C-alpha cells in the first residue's frame, strides 16, 4: 500500500495517498485556512461516502480491502465477483445517497 496508514475502522484500513499529503502541504504553505477547510471536507464528507460503499459491499458478500483518500476524493478497493447486477447497483448507489443526506441536513 503506497499511502499513509490512518488505522483500521470497522475492519477496513483507511489511508491517505502521498499526493493528498503533497496537496495539503502546498495549501498549508499558501493559506492555512484553505488547507484546514480542505481537510475537514475530506474527513466529513468523503470518508463517510466511501465507508457507505464498503458497508454495502460487505453486506452483499464482497471483500473490502481498504479506503484511500486522494486529492480529488476517495477510492474504496474491493475484491468481488458480480453475480447479480442488483448487488453492484446497491454498492454504487449508497455512496451518493450519503451525499444526498448531507445535502438535506446542510441545506
The pTM for the full model equals 0.89
Q: Nine-digit cell at 51?
A: 465507508
Q: Nine-digit cell at 53?
A: 460503499
23-32: pLDDT as tens digits? 999 999 999 9
32-86: pLDDT as tens digits? 999 999 999 998 999 999 999 999 999 999 999 999 999 999 999 999 877 788 9
Amino acid at each position: 500500500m503506497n499511502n499513509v496508514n490512518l488505522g483500521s475502522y470497522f475492519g477496513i484500513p483507511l489511508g491517505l495517498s502521498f499526493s493528498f499529503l503533497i496537496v495539503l502541504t502546498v495549501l498549508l504553505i499558501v493559506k492555512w485556512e484553505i488547507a484546514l477547510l480542505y481537510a475537514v471536507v475530506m474527513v466529513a464528507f468523503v470518508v463517510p461516502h466511501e465507508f457507505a460503499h464498503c458497508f454495502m459491499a460487505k453486506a452483499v458478500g464482497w471483500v473490502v480491502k481498504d479506503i484511500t483518500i486522494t486529492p480529488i476524493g476517495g477510492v474504496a478497493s474491493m475484491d468481488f465477483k458480480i453475480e447479480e447486477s442488483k448487488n453492484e447497483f446497491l454498492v454504487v448507489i449508497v455512496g451518493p445517497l450519503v451525499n444526498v443526506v448531507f445535502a438535506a441536513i446542510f441545506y
